[in-house]
Structure 1
Amino acid sequence: MTTKYEEVYDSFMQKISDYSFISLTNEQLDTFLKNLMKSAIVRFKKCKNELIVNDPIEFSSELTQEEIEIIALLMTVEWIRPRINNIELLKQSLNTKDWNFYSQANHLKELRTLKEETENEIDRLIVSYSYSNGCLKELR
C-alpha cells in the first residue's frame, strides 16, 4: 500500500488560508504543492519511510499519519517563507518615513511568529517521531 500525495496536500491545505489558489488551474496547483512538498521533504531527514517524489501521484511506501503531519507542517513553513521575504524586501526599499504602514509591520511580525511556532511544533513532532521509532541516538 502507498500514500498518495493528495493526502499530504489535504493535510497542508487544512493548515493555511490562501485564496490565490482559486485562480490556479489544477495542474498549476499540483505543481505548486509538489514543489512545496519537495522542499519540505528535504528537511525531514530521519523519516523511516522513503520520501522520494518520482511517481506522479504517490510515494513508494505507506506513510504514517505522524509522517504526513510532519511533512504538511514543513510545507507550511515553506509556504510562509516567501511571504516574509517579500515584506522584508518591501521594507528595505522604503525609508522609515514611508514605512509607517503598521499593518504591514504587524503582518510581518505575525508571519515570523507563525513560522517560529510552526518550526517549534515540527521539532517536537520529529523528536517524538524519532523516539517512538527508536532512532534517538541518530539525532546527534
Structure 2
Amino acid sequence: MPTEQIEKTKFEDVYKAFLSSVDSFQLAKMDDQELEETLWEWLDAARVPFVNYKIVDFYDVDMENKCFNSKLSHAEVALLAKSMKLEWVRMKKHSEDVMNKSLGDRDYNAVQGYNYLKQYSVMETQLVNEINKMINKIEYANSKIYGDMA
C-alpha cells in the first residue's frame, strides 16, 4: 500500500515572503548560513503569537527538512511573514533605542537626522493590528472552526 505523501510548506517559502517585505542592507551582507540562522530566529519568534491558532500548528515542524509538517495556505504564509517583519521591526527598534541611550537624546537626534525610534514604534503598532485582523479573518472564514456560521 503506497504511503500518501503530505504536501508541506518549506520555511523558505515564508522567508521569501518576509524578505520581499523588508529592505535591509544588513541582511544583504550576510552569508547564506548566517542569513538562514537569522531568518530561523525570526520565524521561531514569529510563531509565538500563534500558540492558540486554531487551524494549523505552527510548532509542528520538521527541522531536518526545514519545513512545517502541513501545507500552509497563502494567507498563513503571509501571516507568518508579517509576524517575522514584526520581529525584525522590534529588533531594529531595540537597536535604535540602545543607540539613543548610548549617545543621549540631543546627539542621537543630531546624528540620525530624524527619529527612527518613533517610526519603528508606529510600524510595530501597525503590524500588530494587521496581524490580529488577519488572524480573525482567517479563523472566521474557516468552516472547521465555526461551521455554518463562517
Q: Percent identity?
A: 25
1:34 aligns with 2:40: yes
Structure 2: which 5+ residue stretches go unaligned?
1-6
Residue in 2 aligned with 1:50?
A: 57
Contact 2:46 2:87 in 1 (8 A): yes
- For 1:78, what is the secondary structure of its paired residue? helix
Q: What does the per-residue CA deviation read over 1:102-126, in whole Å, with 9 as the maximum and x for residues that have no partner?
A: 7365211111111111111111101
Residue in 2 aligned with 1:10?
A: 16
Provide the alpha-carbon RMSD of the alignment.
1.9
Q: 1:96: how far off?
A: 4.2
Change (3 A) 1:98 1:11: same
Residue in 1 aligned with 2:73?
A: 64
- Letter matched to residue 8 of structure 1: V
Structure ID, larger Rg: 2
Aligned length: 136
Q: What does the per-residue CA deviation read over 1:66-123, in whole Å, with 9 as the maximum and x for residues that have no partner?
A: 1111100000010111211122122223444434427365211111111111111111
Aligned positions of 1:94-109 closer than 5 A: 94-101=103-110, 103=112, 105-109=114-118
Change (3 A) 1:34 1:74: same
Aligned structure 1 segments of 4 or more residues deviating by more than 6 angstroms = none
* d(CA) in 2 for partners of 1:7, 1:47: 21
Structure 1: which 5+ residue stretches go unaligned?
none
Change (3 A) 1:94 1:127: same
Contact 1:84 1:111 in 2 (8 A): yes
Contact 1:3 1:58 in 2 (8 A): yes
Aligned positions of 1:113-132 closer than 5 A: 113-132=122-141
